[in-house]
Structure 1
């Protein structure tokens, strides 16, 4: 018997050695064509397989491939796909990626010229004079115009005008796949913001594709109402999980993790102390800015109860109080103060925030809800303007129980990155108000969710079972990723859920292969054991931590997902809708992980998931997809 066992062991070792000899390593560097900058998170895969790796921050990659000639596919968000053939003698390659043509055009819109002319462009004349036109007030959608002096041969010596754009978005480094044997845990903070969706809608309705970094896929997914059941136990949040075959890569699977916070009747909510902090600087003097701000806050004022109080602080060149704390039963006084607001001056944003917090501190009471609501286009250029100083101020006030929500308005100089950061640090929501309907939804339909927190510092940690999952990627939430150690650290700030809020997260999974193919994120770990603890049919375990609004210690919840291999068409309606929105977001971003998804497929998936759609948001989504399909002329090459 020992002889046979020894022979079997020897044969296994020989097989392993032969297998190892059939693989070789290809290394390389990936850079972009403009500036020779390295491209991080570019996906390098053997074409039509899940054997892949990703470039590091220096653009370097290393991939194990079979001996012989192989075809590699290199893709990165915002870049054209590159396909190359590597022969059996090559051990290294250099890859240059080119920005998609649409993105080159978008980037050019952000280049400011030397001469800026305010107001409408003058009528063409044979020999225009290069000077500033007088600003026009009370115009609908007034824009700034850049003056570009073209060469005589190119433009007959005429002066051409183009809208300027100083909007600012934080770059998104898209999540990549992680091997479960290397990183079995995925930890992130939840996000209930939806500013990215309404901002994307603004671009499409204006006949433009949104900048890729303006598209945060998780905010698009979470824009929609989903029919999750509210919790019935002691916890303020319920967890739901399910899975289906991934429609944009049918060799993969898609997991949905969904949360629903408890419902509370408005009359049972605690007294609310609000400070409206309104930007009335010169940049707000456009129809879709201050006039829309007034309409939005009129809607909010109508929702106030007698026990609620409101103060109004404005800021431009300086900050000031235009309405002292006023009871909610004196709505006319609040509305009159709003009506009298006018725009003009620079933007002392930091000074306004400090004054608003000073008033909020005087209003704050135990067991009450105290919140500053900032409405701005995000252009902070006077006073406390550095991110560090602003965030420290907001974090200190958050610890005192005063939260901050941020509403973005207008176009042309929207500082999306600043506003998102301030809301995150202030335990509040960030919304972009592109029209009156969005204002109504924020302050009427979702009044409780916008203003009343039921669970704060909500964190999710997902553990994957390597028996079923070889690798995974979280779709979206790039700026919400946490270290695994942060999950049990109650001092670590995270997202908050208001009354009736829903949160949806999707994971794309690469199943454990029966053929032995594997992703190559890192070399195999030497000391790890293959022992699996728990039920062998468990795909993953979701852990959630939250705090009560006034608590410092978190509570733990868990949910297990059993294996299921259903088609996406058989999945629940809300799952299908979230999947369609995720695919659309990845198409808008030109994601390296969009797979085979097309606009027509998104229309098909969403078309079967409209449901009741009482507010018409899903029908509107379908129209936006149709607009994007027409606007997006770039082809993947």
Structure 2
């Protein structure tokens, strides 16, 4: 009997050893002291950049390796906990409120924030322990967006706009919803929400660095209308074949960056990027607070410890000399310029510029001047309560770059690892669309989103006119809602009188059957003369639409609901959910599944609001 027992013990030891040498998944639910679930909690394996965030139900799942010791759980307004990785695969965690005085903290949705970020009275939702704050009661600032209306084709046959690869609006909207609030209307930029997601477009071939796809079908929120989907797919470049990078990290370390979702998250996010660098890449670090200063000379990418140590030493404090920081960053980028390489400043801030060169117009002139020297700009927003979205987007756009908002470590991974090429490497600049609609087929049209990207028609052929940049592997998607020429007279009847001095002949033959023509201009990253593509689109409604079409339509419809758009028609959360579920596809990274959960949360928030009324 003793021998059998020994054999069993040895067998169990072998099994334990086998499991100890394999990666495994730890999962559980995160709650606060009252038992309320906490979505958006950052979970990281200690001393690594491997992490995740809890979902809307407070559930998380993370892979750990044999040598990992502890998991770190952090959330705004809660004490960070470091917990030893258990022997089994379940770890439920209760986070405690940080020891700030009660007068300094209010509960917002599912978490807490410092009271300094809020300024209005709060009210309790019946039947819950949560207090809900008015979402727009802080110092965050967004440019006013006036939605595009329908244009009469006979008076306005051309529609011209710049592409937009910025994706900040979606992650910012997600942050509001995860905190239990509906976002401010002007924080909802429909085209940025659509373009947050990648789509399965064909890879480009031939001389152009991207492919162009079109699809036309019935509009989901207005069956009397058409919806046209246009997609660009940028060419993918293997990381090993990317040109060498000359990067300058320009990091805001002012007092407003002190909270856990700002400078501490900046450090972890940029550590991810550092781990992706190659020996031929170089990094310098500039910080700004009351004054700007260089904390790291341009350093080869294989000296990772030197770069990471410089990042780790940073602390927040002081006012914000953002303009002086920009000047110094451009100076260092110029001194280390790599001809034919990727020369770029990566600015991380909550947007609170208030000392030195601080006006938006002054910064525009500065980055416009420097972009001509071949140094591009990426802007990353962090934190809440202080975001200056309008200023940050302007700096990125005028600096031939892109703008993203990082609300958690998972978004940092998306920006710096999953979309590494698109974030940092430009394959085409000054990319402009111009669509010409056929009045024989189209009565009127409306571009969905892109309100702050509209161009004059004559700007399309003007190579001096700045437009959007496209990164390696990026996709760009645009939607048009179209009123067909056969619609009833009272359906979206244009309010434009017939022209007195101009008449147009109705086209006939094969051209007359076309719905419209898509034209596109772009320049090479270092080029000065644009190239032209021209693609006719047939009047051919597709009954079985692609996942690309349906999912982009779902996101657009959701954005219109959040904006309370006058053009939302029959839009509803039920319609959005049906479209999104049917078009979710493989969803390897889980972003589309997360979108579906956000729509459900908004539906719940709206029900709560109705109950309060």
Q: TM-score with structure 1 length normalisation? A: 0.75
Note the C-alpha offset of 1:519. Answer: 2.0
Quickly say closer, same or farther: Cα 1:147–1:307, change in 2 above 3 A. Answer: closer
Q: Separation in 1 of the partners of 2:272 and 2:100?
A: 35
**Residues 1:627 and 2:601 aligned together:** yes
Q: Separation in 2 of the partners of 1:277 and 1:141?
A: 26
| Count of aligned pairs | 495
| Matched-pair contact (CA < 8 Å) for 1:242–1:257 | yes
Note the C-alpha offset of 1:529. Answer: 2.0
In the alignment, which of 436, 441, 446 is matched to residue 468 of structure 1? 441
Note the C-alpha offset of 1:229. Answer: 1.3
Note the C-alpha offset of 1:391. Answer: 0.5
Provide the secondary structure at the position in 1 that maps to 2:222: coil
Q: Separation in 2 of the partners of 1:531 and 1:147?
A: 59
Matches within 5 A, 1:466-505: 466-505=439-478
Note the C-alpha offset of 1:623. Answer: 0.2
**Residues 1:588 and 2:588 aligned together:** no
**Residues 1:383 and 2:350 aligned together:** no
| Map of 2:479 onto structure 1 | 506
| Map of 1:601 onto structure 2 | 575
| Matched-pair contact (CA < 8 Å) for 1:143–1:412 | no
Provide the secondary structure at the position in 1 that maps to 2:435: strand
Q: Separation in 2 of the partners of 1:281 and 1:372?
A: 18
Q: Separation in 2 of the partners of 1:148 and 1:243?
A: 46
Quickly say closer, same or farther: Cα 1:149–1:378, change in 2 above 3 A. Answer: closer
Q: Separation in 1 of the partners of 2:534 and 2:121?
A: 63
Note the C-alpha offset of 1:142. Answer: 3.9
| Map of 2:531 onto structure 1 | 555
| Map of 1:459 onto structure 2 | 432
Matches within 5 A, 1:249-264: 249-264=222-237
Provide the secondary structure at the position in 1 that maps to 2:498: coil
| Map of 1:436 onto structure 2 | 409
Q: CA RMSD in A?
A: 2.2
Superposed CA offset, 1:115-163 (max 9, x none) = xxxx987448xxxxxxx99xxxxx985441668899xxxxxxxxxx999
In the alignment, which of 200, 214, 218 is matched to residue 187 of structure 2? 214
| Matched-pair contact (CA < 8 Å) for 2:250–2:348 | yes
Superposed CA offset, 1:400-456 (max 9, x none) = 100111000000011111101100000111000000000001000111111000000
| Map of 1:48 onto structure 2 | none
**Residues 1:419 and 2:392 aligned together:** yes
Quickly say closer, same or farther: Cα 1:500–1:147, change in 2 above 3 A. Answer: closer
Q: TM-score with structure 2 length normalisation? A: 0.78
| Matched-pair contact (CA < 8 Å) for 2:256–2:317 | yes
Q: Separation in 2 of the partners of 1:336 and 1:374?
A: 19
| Matched-pair contact (CA < 8 Å) for 1:260–1:503 | yes
Superposed CA offset, 1:501-520 (max 9, x none) = 10000000000026555723
Q: Pick which of 363-372 and 196-205 moved more.
A: 363-372
Quickly say closer, same or farther: Cα 1:162–1:202, change in 2 above 3 A. Answer: closer
In the alignment, which of 201, 220, 225 is matched to residue 198 of structure 2? 225
| Map of 2:282 onto structure 1 | 309
**Residues 1:200 and 2:176 aligned together:** no
| Map of 1:354 onto structure 2 | 327
| Matched-pair contact (CA < 8 Å) for 1:120–1:143 | no
| Matched-pair contact (CA < 8 Å) for 1:463–1:542 | yes
| Map of 1:248 onto structure 2 | 221
Q: Separation in 2 of the partners of 1:321 and 1:123?
A: 39
| Map of 1:84 onto structure 2 | none
Quickly say closer, same or farther: Cα 1:362–1:140, change in 2 above 3 A. Answer: farther
| Matched-pair contact (CA < 8 Å) for 2:215–2:542 | no
Q: Separation in 2 of the partners of 1:162 and 1:187?
A: 37
| Matched-pair contact (CA < 8 Å) for 2:151–2:494 | no
Runs of 4+ in structure 1 displaced over 3 angstroms?
119-124, 139-143, 145-150, 161-164, 514-518
| Matched-pair contact (CA < 8 Å) for 1:457–1:493 | yes
Matches within 5 A, 1:322-401: 322-401=295-374
| Matched-pair contact (CA < 8 Å) for 1:140–1:287 | no
| Matched-pair contact (CA < 8 Å) for 2:212–2:231 | yes
**Residues 1:521 and 2:495 aligned together:** yes
Matches within 5 A, 1:16-165: 122-123=101-102, 142-144=114-116, 165=138
Quickly say closer, same or farther: Cα 1:123–1:326, change in 2 above 3 A. Answer: closer
Which structure's CA Rg is the greater one? 1
**Residues 1:612 and 2:586 aligned together:** yes
Quickly say closer, same or farther: Cα 1:333–1:142, change in 2 above 3 A. Answer: farther
| Map of 2:245 onto structure 1 | 272
Provide the secondary structure at the position in 1 that maps to 2:436: strand
Q: Separation in 2 of the partners of 1:563 and 1:206?
A: 44
| Map of 1:3 onto structure 2 | none
Provide the secondary structure at the position in 2 that maps to 1:144: helix
Q: Separation in 2 of the partners of 1:446 and 1:452?
A: 10
Q: Separation in 2 of the partners of 1:483 and 1:241?
A: 23
Q: Separation in 2 of the partners of 1:396 and 1:389?
A: 11
| Matched-pair contact (CA < 8 Å) for 2:119–2:138 | no
Q: Separation in 2 of the partners of 1:628 and 1:610?
A: 19
| Matched-pair contact (CA < 8 Å) for 1:141–1:287 | no
**Residues 1:564 and 2:536 aligned together:** no
